[in-house]
Amino acid sequence: MTTHPSIFSEAARLWAMRVADPSFDDWDGLTRWLETSPAHLAAYEAASDADQWAAEILAGETREEKDPRRRRN
């Protein structure tokens, strides 16, 4: 039986969120999970890229909200 790729994607998103937490300390657990399957690494990289993209978008919106010259009317 094979595991559906969406399972990897969801687990990868959870790992990416956990790693972003400054108090994260389960590096051994993350490493074990990544080494279990090449599909895990690919899913984690995609989740990390998506997380970074979202953070950049949110940071841009925050700058626009703070700078009246950038506000959309």
> Whole-prediction pTM value?
0.62
Fill in the amino acid letter for 10. Answer: E
Where is pLDDT greater, at 71 or 27? 27
Residue 15 to residue 23: CA distance in whole angstroms: 13
Residue 53 to residue 1: CA distance in whole angstroms: 34
Alpha-carbon torsion (26, 28, 18, 36), positive or negative: negative
Closest CA to 49 of 41, 60, 39: 41
pLDDT over 70 percentage in the chain: 62
Where is pLDDT greater, at 55 or 40? 40
Fill in the amino acid letter for 70. Answer: R
- Identify the pLDDT of residue 10: 87
